[in-house]
């Protein structure tokens, strides 16, 4: 069928597995998607299926089977995923504004003693005298978050078909109601 699905993040909770262990899960709303367009090798140069959500958001996934779904057909998450499947989740991470190196990169504070009481949260030295410039990619203060993030090796714990909810073990990037693309590994 297709390699992934478009969902919306709802909330986090915990459920108990069959062996009695508590599992932290992210609940994703996986409403049925409608096939909007079929991409073919002859016409477009590649094979894919363009899907449309109930809120008119479009997304394209590669076709994984020889048979393509029909145009205007509804695709549900239970046709693609089953409990126990390993998936990855891609979404836009929460924006945290301008942040220093401690919050943004996990740097440690500098010693309070030694006469530098106002520089304990500063990054410290940013390079040698040669080449005489700040090297590209240097970890510095700046804009933190609001970037595409992918979390891999997540497991689907259960699927509630009546409410169109997908329970994924672990944390998924993004804020509540953000769009999350789930792809099969």
pLDDT of residue 111: 87
The residue-averaged pLDDT of 30-37 equals: 94
pLDDT of residue 6: 96
DSSP 88: E
119/158 same-domain check: no
How many Cα atoms sit within 13 Å of 88 on the Cβ side?
9
The residue-averaged pLDDT of 24-38 equals: 95
Domain enclosing residue 81, as ranges: 4-93+149-184
| Total domains present in the chain | 2
72/107 same-domain check: no
Burial state string for 38-48 with b = 16 or more CB within 10 A and e = fewer than 16: bbeeeeeeeeb
pLDDT of residue 64: 79
The residue-averaged pLDDT of 95-123 equals: 91
How do beta strands 58-62 and 48-52 pair?
A: antiparallel
Closest to 143 measured CA to CA, from 94, 86, 73: 94
Q: Which band of pLDDT confidence, cut at 50, 70 and 90, is reported for residue 42?
A: very high
Q: Which band of pLDDT confidence, cut at 50, 70 and 90, is reported for residue 63?
A: confident
pLDDT above 80 for 105: yes
Tens of pLDDT, residue by residue over 133-156, are 999 999 999 999 999 999 999 999
78/164 same-domain check: yes
92 close to 24: Cβ distance less than 8 angstroms: no
Percent of the chain surpassing pLDDT 70: 100
Tell me the whole-structure pTM to 2 decimals. 0.84
80/11 same-domain check: yes
Closest to 157 measured CA to CA, from 13, 17, 21, 3: 17
157 close to 169: Cβ distance less than 8 angstroms: yes
Residue 128 domain-assigned?
no
Q: Which band of pLDDT confidence, cut at 50, 70 and 90, is reported for residue 68?
A: confident
Closest to 63 measured CA to CA, from 46, 42, 85: 46
Q: What is the mean pLDDT of the chain?
A: 93
pLDDT of residue 1: 74
pLDDT of residue 62: 87
pLDDT above 90 for 67: no
Closest to 6 measured CA to CA, from 109, 77, 64, 106: 77
114/154 same-domain check: no
């Amino acid at each position: 069928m297709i390699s992934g699905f478009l969902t919306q993040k709802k909330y986090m909770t915990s459920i108990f597995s069959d062996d009695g262990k508590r599992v932290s899960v992210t609940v994703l709303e996986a409403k049925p998607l409608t096939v909007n367009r079929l991409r073919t090798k002859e016409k477009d140069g590649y094979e894919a299926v363009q899907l449309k959500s109930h809120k008119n958001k479009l997304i394209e996934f590669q076709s994984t089977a020889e048979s393509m779904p029909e145009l205007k057909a509804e695709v549900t998450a239970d046709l693609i995923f089953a409990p126990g499947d390993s998936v990855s989740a891609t979404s836009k991470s929460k924006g945290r504004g301008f942040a220093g190196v401690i919050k943004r990169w996990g740097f440690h504070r500098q010693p309070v003693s030694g006469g530098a009481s106002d520089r304990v949260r500063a990054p410290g030295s940013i390079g040698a005298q040669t080449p005489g410039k700040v090297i590209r990619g240097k970890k510095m203060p700046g804009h933190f978050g609001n970037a595409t993030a992918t979390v891999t090796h997540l497991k689907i714990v259960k699927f509630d078909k009546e409410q169109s909810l997908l329970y994924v073990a672990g944390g998924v990037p993004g804020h509540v109601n953000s769009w999350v693309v789930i792809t099969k590994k």
